[in-house]
Structure 1
Amino acid sequence: MTATQTGSTTVTSRSLLFDGAGSIPYIKEISVRTPRAGEVLVKMAAAGVCHSDLHVINGDWPFPYRLTLGHEGAGIVESVGAGVHDLEPGDQVVFSWFAPCMNCPSCHEGKSWLCQASGAFVNGLPDGSTPLTADDGKEVRPHLGVGAFSEYSLVPRPAAIKIPSDVPPEVAALIGCSIATGIGAVTNTADVRAGQTAVVVGCGGVGQALIMGLKLVGARQIIAVDLSENRLEIARSFGATDVLKGDDPDLAKKIKEISGGGTDFAFDAIGLTSTSAALTGYLKQGGAAVYVGMPARDAEAVIRPWEIIAAGQRILGCNYGSTRPAVDFPKIADLYLAGLLPLDEMVGERIGLDSAAAAIAGLKSSSGRRSVVVY
């Protein structure tokens, strides 16, 4: 039987907070209210360390208020609010950081990844409010509506996606962002078919998931590009057939040579203006460039429209892997449990919440697997 909690009582939660540009993230206890109608309180089990949090700290994505950082998380349902009948305490859930409103035109069209009224836009709940309060009485907003670097998180029902309990929390957390984004970019956004070819620029968490997705659908050639030899070796272990250094001055020429004139798809898993601008140069005629990595908000990249038109190429924007979390997260979990996706291999160092800030800062020079906060 589903348990519900209502009222104005709160739980205390240690959280990683950030006060804005020029400040340093810090650990502090905050209050998280218990769930109201349509909400879910989750006791966190694991949270991935992702570049999106580094974008916030670096000022690439500035916000004029205090945040609880973190968005790639998984945990156990603690309690639910009225009207939530399909989750109960003890269920394992993965967070969708782009929880759909279910009411806008995009949601009605079944394209929840294009939701126009998600609480992620305001770092809060769908009504624009926040369930978090600091001990000084000031509000705290959950990053992208979830605030996963906290012992407890309160989210709207569409943000909590149930998956099997035998998926390890560290893996479950990564499904909610890097894995769903990478695999979804292949299977949803690009719709790569067996026998096609691709180049993946950037072999961090999203790039590793891209490579696994390409192998899953039967791509015959997967070229991995990165500056790190370590990450290129990891890419090989996930299915890359060829690896190239990203600083090679002849990179485009070599991609064209080993692919026989260019690939069917080129995925940018970094989001730098330099990688974005170069992407179409790796493609064959009729190929598609897929932009997956997130840049700074005001970033601009130069492209050559005439060459793209003459070659009949396409440019595809990929938000969150074009995923429908309620459908895709359980599907990815099932593929993992069936042994078809080696997601355990994406998990690197397991750290405590007190080490999360240093791990985010370390992403500037990271060259391995995904660090995960384990609660």
Structure 2
Amino acid sequence: MGVITMSNQVETDGAYIRYEFSEFAGNLEPVKYEMPVPQGNEVLLKVDYCGVCHSDVHVHDGYYGLGNGKKLNLGDRGIRLPVTLGHEVVGTIVAVGEDAIDASVGEQRLIYPWIGCGECSVCQRGEENLCGKPASLGIFKPGGYSEYITVPHPRYLLDLGNLNPANASLLACSGLTTFSAIKKIQPLHEEEYVIVIGCGGLGQLAIRTLRSAGISNIVAVDVSEDKREIAKKAGAKVVLDPRSVDATDALAREADGNCMAVLDFVGNEQTVEFGLKVLKKGGKLVVIGLHGGELRYPIPFLVTKAVTIIGSYTGTLAEMKELVTFANQHDLLDIPVEIRALERAESAVEDLSNGKVSGRIILKN
């Protein structure tokens, strides 16, 4: 689209396409929009790559499962239709507002999508991802299933360094979510074990990140034989099928009572129950997955085992900057990736929802 480079923009033909749904669980349709002109601190980027994430599936479905047939309706959480998904975005700057002095046309950048109001106490302490009035890209604001995307301020744009731009898009959610969760279980002693439940894209990134951080006692747990094999190649010391009758016994033999941390990338009743069962005294269960259900745990055990149950939702801008530096120093992103054209966004969401994806799908514009 862009052909004429100017001081603060690349001239376009005046329209672009976003893939959006106008009702929850509806089809992703291409819709033409007038090209926005960035104002103030805004930055307009051409989307180069956008990862397809399980969060996209939940937002598309329109609910989280709460157990016993109950659902949390995402429309009640402030998500307004139509929605353009996509929060794992790498793009190239094509235009900037008059106040966006820290952004230049032609720069390729990774976007931090977990944007808050910027004014509340949560945002002021640097936790915009937990803001009560979120403006997250791909959820509350138009995301990367699009030819172009608008970012409200240059501070949300990160230099990739030497990273592969396609795979680097995964750092905005998959990588950041695993990185932030791992920070919550540290420090660990050399003999202590980390249990990774769910070995899809996030679980694989977690294993690689743990190994890069010097943690080698990793047990990967998944019902899929293919994903267990990938987890083994990623660096897991032991892989287990949780459906096996002796899964917990095998884990106990391997870890010898030293299961200090569980990272649950599934987040259903069975995985949380498994995680709490195998933790040692003083251990930490970090729940990242959103497959849903209810938490049931005897309160006396919570006290006598002194376990900590932590919910972990994405990560902060500071953590993402730290992650990009870490990823440039370590081989985190060598996971199975399939590149698909942006036009195939709907099939990508369907395949992920139906469990047909072993690694990650990245849309290319």
Q: TM-score, normalising length from structure 2?
A: 0.86
| Pairing partner for 1:117 from 133, 140, 144 | 133
Query: Which residue pairs with 2:145 in the alignment?
Result: 149
Q: Sequence identity, in percent?
A: 27
Q: Residues 370 and 185 from structure 1, CA distance in 2 versus in 1: closer, same or farther, beyond 3 angstroms? A: same
Query: After the TM superposition, which residues 196-345 of structure 1 pair with which residues of structure 2 at under 5 Å, given as runs?
Result: 196-296=192-292, 299-320=293-314, 323-325=315-317, 327-338=318-329, 340-343=330-333, 345=334
Distance 1:252 1:282 in 2: 7
Partner residue, 2:67 = none
- Give the direction of change, closer, same or farther, for the CA distance of 1:347–1:44 in structure 2 (3 Å limit): farther
Distance (Å, rounded) in 1 between the aligned partners of 2:225 and 2:189: 28
Q: Is the 8 A contact 1:194 1:217 kept in 2?
A: no
1:15, 1:151 within 8 Å by CA — same for their partners in 2? yes
Displacement after TM superposition at 1:346 (Å): 2.1
- Please tell me whether residue 366 in structure 1 is matched to residue 356 in structure 2: yes
Distance between the aligned counterparts of 1:13 and 1:347, measured in 2?
30
User: Structure 1: how far apart are the matches of 2:220 and 2:197?
Assistant: 6
Alignment deviations for residues 152-207 of structure 1 (CA, whole Å, 9 cap, x no partner): 011211673221353222122101110111122112x2224352320010011211
* 1:247-277, Cα deviation, whole Å (9 max, x unpaired): 2243333222211124110011012232223
Partner of 1:95: 111
Instruction: Report Cα offsets for 1:91-130 as digits up to 9, x if no partner.
Output: 222222211333211222233332333312xx6xxxxxxx
SS at match of 2:196: strand
Aligned length: 344
With over 3 angstroms needed to count, the CA separation of the structure-2 counterparts of 1:111 and 1:17, relative to structure 1, is closer
Unpaired runs of 5+ residues, structure 2, are 1-5, 65-73
Tell me which residue corresponds to 1:138.
none
Query: CA 1:244–1:367 in structure 2 vs 1: closer, same or farther (change >3 Å)?
Result: farther
Deviation at 1:347, TM superposition (A): 4.4
Distance 1:231 1:165, change over 3 A: same
**Is the Cα–Cα contact under 8 Å of residues 28 and 345 in structure 2 kept in the other structure?**
no
Task: Please tell me whether the aligned partners of residues 236 and 242 of structure 1 are also in contact (alpha carbons under 8 angstroms).
Answer: yes
Compute the displacement of 1:317 (Å).
1.4
Q: Does 1:45 align with 2:52?
A: no
Look up the equivalent residue of 2:355 and give its one-letter code: S
Range with greater deviation from structure 2 (18-27 or 260-269): 18-27
Further displaced range: 220-229 or 249-258: 249-258
- Residue 26 (structure 2) aligned to one of 13, 23, 26: 23
Correspondence for 1:191 among 165, 172, 186:
186
Distance in 2 (CA, whole Å) between partners of 1:220 and 1:312 is 25
**Matches of 1:262 and 1:104 in 2, distance apart?**
40
The answer as to 2:37 corresponding to 1:34 is yes
Give a deviation string over 1:294-327, Cα, whole Å, max 9, x none: 245xx4222222222111111111111xx332x3
Quote the Cα distance in structure 2 between the aligned partners of 1:347 and 1:85: 38
Unaligned runs of 5+ in 1: 124-141
79, 97, 107: which one pairs with 2:95? 79
Give the deviation of 1:328 after TM superposition: 3.2
TM-score, reference length from structure 1: 0.84
Q: Partners in 1 of 2:97 and 2:161 — Cα distance?
A: 22
CA spacing shift, 1:330–1:163, aligned 2, 3 Å: farther
CA distance in 2, matches of 1:333, 1:150: 24
